Amino acid sequence: MKRQLALIGYALGALSRRRGRSAAVTAGLALVVGLFGSVLFLGDALRAEVEAGARYLPDLSVQRLVAGRPALVPTDVVGAVRGIPGVRSVNARVWGYLYVPPISANITILGATGREATLHAAMVAGRSLRAGERGACVLGAALAEAIGVEPGDEVSLSSDVGGSDATVHWLRIVGVFHDASALRTADVLITSDADARNLLGVDAGLATDLAVSLTTPDEARVASEKIALLVAGARIVDKQLLRRTYALTLDGRGGLLSAMLLPALAALLLLAWDRLTGLSEAERREIGVLKAIGWEVSEVLTARLWESLLVALGGATLGVLGAYAYVFLAQAPGLAGALYGWSALYPPLRLTPQVDAAQALALIVGVALPFVAVGLVPAWRAATLDPDHALRGGA
């Protein structure tokens, strides 16, 4: 232990005596690890967003397609669906997108189904809706900020029925909520079922979709099959399936990006190999001296390996920190688009720092160890230089 510390001390000294070269190799490593790390962190952050968003998804959502286009679902099937074994509850939901000219954006209107209790925790101001409360709404923090309103204010929205039928609805804001999952709730306005129907032009007896909750997620497949028989043209979205699809898409895209970075890593390892095999004259002399004054082969070897390990760990750690800053402080300019092409619908997405320490560690180790492994043979070559080289002044 003491011996290792002394050897580390020597290795640090040796690195600082050749600080130009050490810095160059460290920077190269930091760059490559930084690129890998950015992909990894961005993937993790997006995965976390998806997971957080999935909390609000029902186990199954039943939509309907007519002639390949989305259509409204008749609510009279609710009773039948509720009767399917494994189904715990069914909610007919009304929701949709509404264009708001003043902010030139689509917002999501959500009809309250009485199951927004989860929002209580997330209210940043005001309160949540009461059951059946008319003419009132709660909105997402990003939306409230965009329109510049707070609880107590009223917003006017023109309904989406088109032409002269369009009427203006005034809704009083009773609360603003915020959630870690920016992806899902940023642009949401929740109002009573009846107000939502008016705004979106959805007649009674119809719904946008059915939210089905199951007793256990394992029932999803069987229940889906039964629902498909009940609802003509049903398109059923399985939450588990959706989550896995997102996870796999992210993994796949992240992997593709990583694969494109592999040549960079290979180039770096080659550079390291070159650097480590081509001992400079000064290094050769120094090792000769060490051997001559009584360092064993294994001691010189260990010192050399500490040198490469320190460079590798230093570079990899710098790279990971750089990636963190790039993704979460700078919001990954340039890379974000490649990884989440689908989020154009939403207002700017603020990535929440989300780092799996184990993955970061795996990254550091995964780069550092091969880097050191590449240096094993060169280090051994150096360590077995004959001590009598020092006798005649090196060479």
Partner 1 sequence: MSIEKESPAPTAAPAIDARGLTKRYEDGVRRREVVSDVSVVVPQGALWVLRGPSGSGKTTLLGLLGAMVTPTRGEVIVCGEPLSRLRDHHRTRARRRLVGFVFQELALVPGMTLTENVLLPLVPEGGATNAQRAHAAALLERFGLTAFADTRIERLSGGERQRGAVARALVLSPPVLLLDEPTAHLDAARVLEVVAMLAALRDEGRTIVATTHDPRLADSASVDRVLDLADGKLVEN
Partner 2 sequence: MLTNLLHPLLLLRVVAALVVAVLVLVGARVAWQVLLRWQISRASEGQLYLERRAELVATLVQGALVMTIAGLALTVLAADRLAPSIRGAMCAYGVFGSTPTGFFALGTSAASAAACALWVVLHRLDLRLATPALTRRKFLALLFVVPLVLTDLVAQLRFVLDLDFTVVASCCSTSLDGTVAAVERAAPAGARDLASGVALAAALGAVLAALFTRWRPIAAAAYAAGALSLVAAVAAVPAVLWVVAPYAYESPHHLCPFCLLRADAGGLGWPLFASLFTGTLLGVALALVESQKRASGASAEAAAMQRGLARWAAAAWLLALVLAAAPVVRYLVLSGGVSLFGAHG
| Residues engaged in binding partner 1 (CB under 8 A) | 2-3, 5-7, 9-10, 13, 17, 282, 285-286, 288-299, 386-388, 390-394
Q: In terms of C-beta density within 10 A (0-12 exposed, 13-18 middle, 19 or more buried), how is residue 18 classed? A: middle
CB of 240 to partner 2, least distance (A): 6
Distance CA 363, CA 368 (A): 8
Which CB, 237 or 289, lies closer to partner 1?
289
**Binding status of residue 356 toward partner 2 by CB under 8 A:** yes
Binders of partner 2 among residues 118 to 177 (CB under 8 A) are: none
Measured from the CB of residue 35, what is the shortest distance to partner 1 in angstroms?
Answer: 34
8 vs 338 by CB, closer to partner 1: 8
Q: Say how far apart CA 128 and CA 184 lie, in whole Å.
A: 17
Stretch near partner 2 under the rule CB under 8 A, chosen from 63-71, 112-120, 140-148, 239-247 = 239-247
**∠ at Cα 9 (5, 10), nearest 5°?**
120
Distance CA 87, CA 259 (A): 43
Tell me which residues in 288-317 interact with partner 2 (CB under 8 A): 297-298, 301
Q: Which of 251, 270, 350, 391 binds partner 2 (CB under 8 A)?
A: 251
Shortest approach of partner 2 to residue 185 CB, angstroms?
22
Q: Which does 133 bind (CB under 5 to 8 A by kind): partner 2, partner 1, none?
A: none
Q: Which region among 22-30, 58-66, 136-144, 377-385 touches partner 2 (by CB under 8 A)?
A: 377-385
Strand partners, 235: 63
Helices then strands, each counted (H, E), the chain: 13, 14
Kindly tell me which of 33 and 290 has the beta carbon lying closer to partner 1. Answer: 290
Does position 329 interact with partner 2 (CB under 8 A)? The reply is: no
| Max Cα–Cα distance, the chain, nearest Å | 101
Q: Which does 325 bind (CB under 5 to 8 A by kind): partner 1, partner 2, none?
A: none
Closer Cβ to partner 1, 121 or 293, answer by number: 293
Looking only at the bridges linking them, the beta strands covering 188-191 and 105-111 are: parallel
**254 touching partner 2, by CB under 8 A:** yes
Q: Which of 10, 14, 25, 36 binds partner 2 (CB under 8 A)?
A: 36
- Interatomic CA distance for residues 252 and 338, integer angstroms: 12
Q: What's the min distance (Å) between Cβ of 252 and partner 2? A: 6
Give 43 or 288: the residue with its C-beta nearer to partner 1.
288
Rounded to whole angstroms, the Cα distance separating 98 from 101 reads 10
267 binds partner 2 (CB under 8 A): no
DSSP-assigned letters across all residues of 49-100? HHHHHHTTS-SEEEEEEETTEEEPEEGGGHHHHHTSTTEEEEEEE-EEEEEE
Q: Of 33-41, 64-72, 166-174, 284-292, which segment contacts partner 2 by CB under 8 A?
A: 33-41
Q: Kindly list the residues in this chain that would bind partner 2 in the complex (CB under 8 A).
A: 36, 39-40, 51, 218, 240-241, 243-244, 247-248, 251-252, 254-256, 258-259, 297-298, 301, 356, 358-359, 362-363, 365-366, 369-370, 372-373, 376-377, 379-380, 383-384
